Structure 1
């Protein structure tokens, strides 16, 4: 994920809750992100204030944040060719912790650059928002760069009790630092609170009903909105679905399965394309060997940074989000074997949102704050240790790390504010898009989310990587017809990989 832009678009006065925001031209945002604006596109920024706690309360019943506000940053993209405007398309890239402001900029460059089709850009304002706690929206900032370096670089499968205890101590230090800074306000960064902010955004942009495109965790935001405000939904596209009914443990195991399956696909591709994959014929053995070697003798970069087992592991994770990343990983592991870790760090840093100077955005500060606020289930350290051993047998490359990752919320302070997990009765059909080779939100979650909502319609892409729209003409045509004309794909529609 690219680095967030400097927060110049937070200048000026934020509109009070319920008030109409003042939009101002902000071409500096795309310039800071990608050095230019998209041709024929105008960029405007605004901020609105929202209650910190939508539950309210006063006096003795008041909760943390009662009467206080957060500021939410918005960016609106409008095409000079816009005709027959339908309204605004609100977008969220997931995470949690991803910037919707940045996403709106990237999507504005059109389909040939991986953005939205002209058919969408010509009919909608594209509105990106940074959810509460993220980037420009009252950001959560409480994890030092050094602790993030230590966390990402840590052994992904700490087998000895001493090594496991070291990771627990690091997680405790991170949690304590965030608890000391934010205290009992940490639960206010929950998904349900952010979904209620989305309705304030809908009102602020002047739409009677919400049209929304959410990726990955953004599908959870959209699903929560649909349950809270079913009558205010016009059209929701939920791409890379999260099943809200999974608890913390089930969700982590689902990802372990998804990444193992995606890596198996990479392994088979590599064996069949040896000329393009220097890890052939056995990519799994090559990657496992690279991680094992990094545990005892990490390769040192020219600047002294060591490619420990954790950094190699996160390079693997990063590469599985797109099919194009497979060849990048093969090259990175091959160069690591030759003594050059630069490509490993490039892949891992892209995942971690770490720049060349070793500075992180607040992506993972917000990620932990949201994930842990959402969860009532906090497994014990003994239970996590059991899962680590169990998942090592079932999902050898990814299972142990996903089990050990549960420690973060176990050691996170503050209470919880779980999101709803029910039907969206009264909402129109909601399009739920899934990719059969998706590692991060495995395909099984797509029909599960559609079934939970009761009004979900599944659209399947038989492809690789994380999320589908607008990857192929088949997916693009189906989603565009839904967003523009509210035409729902036929039941069971599947799109081929290419």
Structure 2
């Protein structure tokens, strides 16, 4: 899940939309609603688009599956979903289809079929991957699905205004940018936006299931992919075989409250990174205390407004770049090197390597479209402003205002979304495996506990002390072995009416040593080679 991802300016602006409420067709349908428009549809598999002879997608098959834009009008306008298949090789122990979703919303999953097989193999469980047809896909509006939503490809280009407004005028300027982006989305894709709910995407998954001729599916969801999977399980409980949910969204906080809680968790994790840098002052020379390192960071942030780092990294871009350390401890070393090189040697080259100018507009547009349609957001800007000022004053300074502006176009969306689907368990659901790192910032630990309550048949595994977002298949054998055993046989931890099992975070991954040979290069930690919950934008 990208940050659902807000000094004290006194702007009070009405964030009224330019349209009406979500049409009834976009609201949640009856549980178990089918996908008649695609029943019996054949999937015309062919070669995937690849970047070269070494691209793993050479070993996958790709197709487009046609689905209704509006499931209440199955014979109406159609769109299509890009699907990939990485085929099983163990005929004798075939387990069916395993869908994988990397999160977002807005994340492209087409490459995750062969990727999931690689990751399972890298942690010693290639035999499990061999038993499934692993299905990657781009959810509606994303990537290779048709159409792909884009609103303004230049919206996030550097150098953007600083996130933290120093005056009412600064805040009004960001509001104007956000409103314009929402208007651009409405003008280009207003016909599609009301049909971008997670419930619509879940029905697309069921349409793909039907087209594949499968009675049930298994699911591996990271980050927002946990909410996506939980939505499918709520709508289609009889069609679920197994579900792994890693980095769980809190179903009580969909979606506005979720980004407020993220602000607190990212502050904690970034300060943990500052403290880690201080512990290694002999390497980085940025100070011997967390407070000293933090002070140097904010000095750099302020200076970047007048003189962007390398001409391209202003305060907004620097926040986005450094945020990666709050997502994943694998960024600790390179980003500390980058910050040190700039502060001590005025060398911007490392930070520039990590600059991603806003990511792809398609990612951003779909992120907004899904969350805007899924649930109701405040439409009065005073609410956004007051919450941001409160959190910032409470000391949650790192990400609060960046998170506001990442989500702000939703305040001006052409309709008011929701209501949010009420997730619910069912006696028809098999046991699910929920995995939660206790120091995850993008999906704070409460999400795992709440998802566990919603689905009583689930089992919850805590990675104690883990600071990396959605950390399965990343080198923690305790976690990875539990996931593999569940996917292989359905084996789950015993029910202990709370967290049902515990795995300690791996010290050398959770607290890397910059003076040692880098773990990934030494082969000690396989790591995921595609992003999960892409940490490139706030």
TM-score normalised to the size of structure 2? 0.80
Evaluate the alpha carbon distance shift between residue 229 and residue 112 of structure 1 in structure 2; reply closer, same or farther with a 3 A threshold: closer
User: CA offset at residue 422 of structure 1?
Assistant: 3.1
Determine if the alignment matches structure 1 residue 156 to structure 2 residue 158. Answer: no
1:482 is aligned, of 483, 486, 492, to: 486
Q: Are 2:329 and 2:467, in contact at CA under 8 Å, matched by a contact in 1?
A: yes
Q: Which moved more, 1:451-460 or 1:472-481?
A: 451-460
Q: Which moved more, 1:78-87 or 1:251-260?
A: 78-87
Q: Which moved more, 1:487-496 or 1:160-169?
A: 487-496
After superposition, give the CA deviation of every residue in 1:289-321 in whole Å (9 maximum; x if it has no partner): 22111122222x3xxx42110000000112322
1:71 is aligned, of 69, 80, 88, to: 80
Q: Are 2:224 and 2:249, in contact at CA under 8 Å, matched by a contact in 1?
A: yes
Determine if the alignment matches structure 1 residue 345 to structure 2 residue 352. Answer: yes
After superposition, give the CA deviation of every residue in 1:163-212 in whole Å (9 maximum; x if it has no partner): 11111111111111110112243110111100111111222223211200
Structure 2: distance between partners of 1:82 and 1:98: 31
SS at match of 2:444: coil
Q: Are 2:142 and 2:149, in contact at CA under 8 Å, matched by a contact in 1?
A: no
**Hey, which bits of structure 1, 4+ residues long, moved more than 6 A?**
none
Structure 1: distance between partners of 2:230 and 2:89: 32
SS at match of 2:327: coil
Evaluate the alpha carbon distance shift between residue 386 and residue 200 of structure 1 in structure 2; reply closer, same or farther with a 3 A threshold: same
Determine the structure 2 residue equivalent to 1:22. 43
After superposition, give the CA deviation of every residue in 1:307-366 in whole Å (9 maximum; x if it has no partner): 11000000011232221101121112123333333332332418x33xxxxxx3511111
Structure 2: distance between partners of 1:75 and 1:365: 23
User: CA offset at residue 409 of structure 1?
Assistant: 0.7
Q: Are 1:278 and 1:330, in contact at CA under 8 Å, matched by a contact in 2?
A: no
Evaluate the alpha carbon distance shift between residue 143 and residue 439 of structure 1 in structure 2; reply closer, same or farther with a 3 A threshold: same
User: CA offset at residue 81 of structure 1?
Assistant: 5.5
Q: Are 1:318 and 1:348, in contact at CA under 8 Å, matched by a contact in 2?
A: no
Determine if the alignment matches structure 1 residue 121 to structure 2 residue 129. Answer: yes
SS at match of 1:251: helix
The structure showing larger relative contact order (alpha-carbon pairs under 8 Å, at least 6 residues apart) is 2
Determine the structure 1 residue equivalent to 2:473. 470
Structure 2: distance between partners of 1:361 and 1:385: 25
Determine the structure 2 residue equivalent to 1:293. 303
Determine the structure 2 residue equivalent to 1:493. 501
Instruction: Provide the aligned length of Structure 1 versus Structure 2.
Output: 460
Determine the structure 1 residue equivalent to 2:21. none
Which blocks of at least 5 consecutive residues in structure 2 are unaligned? 2-35, 507-538
Structure 2: distance between partners of 1:271 and 1:88: 47
Q: Are 2:48 and 2:61, in contact at CA under 8 Å, matched by a contact in 1?
A: yes
Q: Are 2:461 and 2:501, in contact at CA under 8 Å, matched by a contact in 1?
A: yes
Q: Which moved more, 1:75-84 or 1:170-179?
A: 75-84
Structure 2: distance between partners of 1:21 and 1:256: 46
User: CA offset at residue 417 of structure 1?
Assistant: 4.2
Evaluate the alpha carbon distance shift between residue 417 and residue 386 of structure 1 in structure 2; reply closer, same or farther with a 3 A threshold: closer
Structure 2: distance between partners of 1:493 and 1:316: 32
Determine if the alignment matches structure 1 residue 412 to structure 2 residue 413. Answer: yes
Determine the structure 1 residue equivalent to 2:511. none
Q: Are 1:98 and 1:363, in contact at CA under 8 Å, matched by a contact in 2?
A: yes
Evaluate the alpha carbon distance shift between residue 308 and residue 370 of structure 1 in structure 2; reply closer, same or farther with a 3 A threshold: same
Which blocks of at least 5 consecutive residues in structure 1 are unaligned? 2-14, 58-65, 354-359
User: CA offset at residue 123 of structure 1?
Assistant: 1.0
Q: Are 1:219 and 1:240, in contact at CA under 8 Å, matched by a contact in 2?
A: yes
Q: Are 1:224 and 1:419, in contact at CA under 8 Å, matched by a contact in 2?
A: no
User: CA offset at residue 229 of structure 1?
Assistant: 0.9
Determine the structure 2 residue equivalent to 1:450. 452
TM-score normalised to the size of structure 1? 0.86
Determine the structure 2 residue equivalent to 1:424. 425
